[in-house]
Amino acid sequence: PTASPHAARPLHPAALSRWPTMGAITSAELNFLVFRYLQESGYEAGIHKGGIDGNVVPPGALITIVQKGLQYIELEANTDENDQEVEKDFALLEPLEIITKDVEELQQIVKKRKRERLQIDCDKDKGKAKECIEEHEHRLGGERE
């Protein structure tokens, strides 16, 4: 896997809790990921040999870690060189999108959703539509789909 161009930019852990994901990861999605991991790693038959004391692992630890990972990727997808105001213009992603797509694909989804939201906002204020679109296109990097 290639390194993300955003990997060098540290994100403060507190930033991850500011934005909830569009929908929490479902039990079925998490179970599939765990099952796939166990299959790929060959651990499905030897899990009891791991030597980890289950009493020290808090309940819900896996879902907490996975959810924070999804939030981190979602935040990374909403951040690029041209977009300094992530908090103001944050686009939510579905857990399945985050799981199945790389950051570049997620960034395209985010840009598309921001443009759709922009179009709705600009349509509400028809008198300033041109200025509104130009301002937001500049914020989105001047790209058009």
Q: For 60-90, how does the pLDDT look when each residue is reduced to its tens digit (9 = 90+)?
A: 888 888 888 988 898 888 887 665 656 667 8
The reported pLDDT for the residue numbered 128 is: 64
More confident residue, 126 or 37: 37
Q: For 20-50, how does the pLDDT look when each residue is reduced to its tens digit (9 = 90+)?
A: 445 778 888 888 888 888 888 877 666 667 7
Three-state DSSP class for residue 1: coil
Q: How far apart are CA 51 and CA 54, in angstroms?
A: 9
The reported pLDDT for the residue numbered 33 is: 85
Determine if the pTM surpasses 0.85.
Answer: no
Write the DSSP string, 81-127.
TTB--TTTT-----HHHHHHS-HHHHHHHHHHHHHHHHHHHHHHTGG
Residue 59 gets which letter from DSSP?
Answer: T
More confident residue, 35 or 9: 35
The reported pLDDT for the residue numbered 6 is: 37
Tell whether the model's pLDDT for residue 105 goes beyond 90. Answer: yes
Q: How many CB atoms lie within 10 A of CB 80?
A: 18
For 22-38, what is the HEC assignment?
CCCCCHHHHHHHHHHHH
Three-state DSSP class for residue 80: strand
Q: How many CB atoms lie within 10 A of CB 113?
A: 16
Q: How many CB atoms lie within 10 A of CB 108?
A: 14
Q: How confident is the model at residue 11 (pLDDT cuts 50, 70, 90)?
A: very low
